[in-house]
Amino acid sequence: MPKATNADDSDAPDGVQIDLISGERMAGMATMEKIRMILDGVHDGNIVILEEGLTPDEESRLIEVTMAEISPDEFNGIEIETYPKSETRDSSLLGRIMGGDETEAKLTVIGPANQIETLHKDETLISALVSRN
Amino acid sequence: MGLFTELKDSISRATDRLFSEQEPKRIGIYGPPNAGKTTLANRIARDWTGDAVGAESHVPHETRRARRKENVEIERDGKTVTIDIVDTPGVTTKVDYEEFTDEMDEEDAIRRSREATEGVAEAMHWLREDVDGVIYVLDSAEDPITQVNTMLIGIVESRDLPVLIFANKTDLDDSSVKRIEDAFPQHKTVPLSAKEGDNMDEVYDNIAEYFG
């Protein structure tokens, strides 16, 4: 599988790299492979956009691994945004049989905490300000 | 998830609950930093055991280790509900030691931030492995629709844990309980001021009902 290139070479243009990662690319990856890919990108100063986001369990592990990698003056952690759920999830047995619990895919934006700031978020819009380091 | 897997899981959970009836349920107090989790834990512990759980502070990340207060016996309507309270560090996705340098010197700020990151990881581990129910504490004077709140409530829901949302700090002028109810309509929201001890009867009624 080809890797996203990094724009941190000395002759690279002065800008912010954005990696848009498809659900298809994430589908075959183990949890730690996904987390490593996200955090490697964020450590490089990239904004990572996941077409289908992470499962709740993967999100909890992402928080845990992020905390382990925070280092004073080097890495302050991540900013992460997804849309909030707009309506109550159907948690009845019938709803689960019909697959109501499985449609959790949600676009997710992740970036270095010191470079991305959420300006506005509601059920249908995420507005963020991205700055160069 | 298929029907049979779902049924098997439901039966397994019911069996687990049946055989663990004698063990007090471990109720995790979760939420973002500075929501008043330790103030609440201390209020509950003092009301029913006479002891406190931990130190409270206006500086974020005062609680940097999960702390358990065992065998808290809450009496409601002639019945006694026994729970363990687990006060957890506030969950966040970022920690910057410079946030603390107004309150302490740089060395202490760096130590505090390092301990805070360990505490967040510890809180996540407890949530995945070791709690039977969750009290999610929010500062009702703040916007509840944040990524940390959305993610944590999602994680709790995915684990099928019973959850109560506590809209804390109702003594503040900017408090809005409705804003929290609207943000998480799928869960019961209980207003309170842990600091002032306001509405604690309803708090204990709900703890007994949800976790008893």
What CATH number did the domain enclosing A68 receive? 3.30.950
Asked whether residue B18 is assigned to any structural domain, the reply reads no
The alpha carbon of residue A91 and the mean position of all alpha carbons in its chain are separated, in whole angstroms, by 26
Q: Name the residue range of residue A106's domain.
A: 18-130
Position with higher pLDDT, B101 vs A13: B101
Give B3's pLDDT tier (boundaries 50, 70, 90).
low
The CATH number of the domain holding residue B106 is: 3.40.50.300
Give A101's pLDDT tier (boundaries 50, 70, 90).
very low
Asked whether residue B122 is assigned to any structural domain, the reply reads yes
Q: What is the number of structural domains in chain B? A: 1
Q: What is the DSSP letter of B14?
A: H
- Check: CB of residue B134 under 8 Å from CB of residue B31: no
> Which chain A residues touch B183 with a CB distance below 8 Å?
84
> Which chain B residues touch A102 with a CB distance below 8 Å?
1
Whether B110 sits inside 8 A of A72 (CB atoms) is: yes
Supply the pLDDT for residue B10.
Answer: 63
Question: Could you tell me if B1 lies within 8 Å of chain A, comparing CB atoms?
Answer: yes
Asked whether residue B170 is assigned to any structural domain, the reply reads yes
Whether B151 sits inside 8 A of A77 (CB atoms) is: no
Question: Could you tell me if A14 lies within 8 Å of chain B, comparing CB atoms?
Answer: no
Tens digits of per-residue pLDDT, B96-150?
A: 999 899 899 999 999 999 999 999 999 999 999 999 999 999 999 999 989 999 9
Quote the Cα angle for A94-B160-A52, to 5°.
Answer: 80
Helix pair angle (A56-69, B106-129), 10° resolution: 160
Closest CA in chain A for residue B9: A93
Position with higher pLDDT, B8 vs A114: A114
- Kindly report the average pLDDT of chain A as a whole number: 82
Asked whether residue B8 is assigned to any structural domain, the reply reads no
In this prediction, residues B54-68 reach a mean pLDDT of 86
In this prediction, residues B48-68 reach a mean pLDDT of 87
Asked whether residue B19 is assigned to any structural domain, the reply reads no
Supply the pLDDT for residue B188.
Answer: 97
Share of chain A above pLDDT 70, in %: 74
In the predicted model, is pLDDT for residue A100 greater than 80?
Answer: no
In the predicted model, is pLDDT for residue A40 greater than 60?
Answer: yes
Supply the pLDDT for residue A125.
Answer: 86
Chain A interface test: which of B9, B150, B161 (most A C-beta within 10 Å): B150
In the predicted model, is pLDDT for residue B152 greater than 80?
Answer: yes
In the predicted model, is pLDDT for residue A99 greater than 50?
Answer: no
CA distance B8 to B108: 51
How distant, in Å, are the alpha carbons of A80, A130, A133, B64 from that of A46? 13, 10, 10, 30
Asked whether residue A8 is assigned to any structural domain, the reply reads no
Closest CA in chain B for residue A53: B151
Q: What is the number of structural domains in chain A? A: 1
Asked whether residue A100 is assigned to any structural domain, the reply reads yes
Coil/strand/helix, residue A49: strand
> Which chain A residues touch B188 with a CB distance below 8 Å?
none
Name the B residues in 144-183 with CB < 8 Å from any A CB: 145, 147, 150-151, 154-155, 157-159, 183
In the predicted model, is pLDDT for residue A34 greater than 60?
Answer: yes
Supply the pLDDT for residue B212.
Answer: 84
Closest CA in chain A for residue B154: A56
In this prediction, residues A20-31 reach a mean pLDDT of 94
Asked whether residue B116 is assigned to any structural domain, the reply reads yes
- Check: CB of residue B170 under 8 Å from CB of residue B193: yes
Q: Name the residue range of residue B40's domain.
A: 25-211
Tens digits of per-residue pLDDT, A49-85?
A: 999 999 999 999 999 999 999 999 899 999 999 876 6
Asked whether residue A10 is assigned to any structural domain, the reply reads no
Whether B6 sits inside 8 A of A60 (CB atoms) is: no
> What's the pTM value of the predicted model, to 2 decimals?
0.84
Asked whether residue A120 is assigned to any structural domain, the reply reads yes
Whether B6 sits inside 8 A of A93 (CB atoms) is: yes
Residues 6+ apart with CB under 8 A from A68: B117, B121
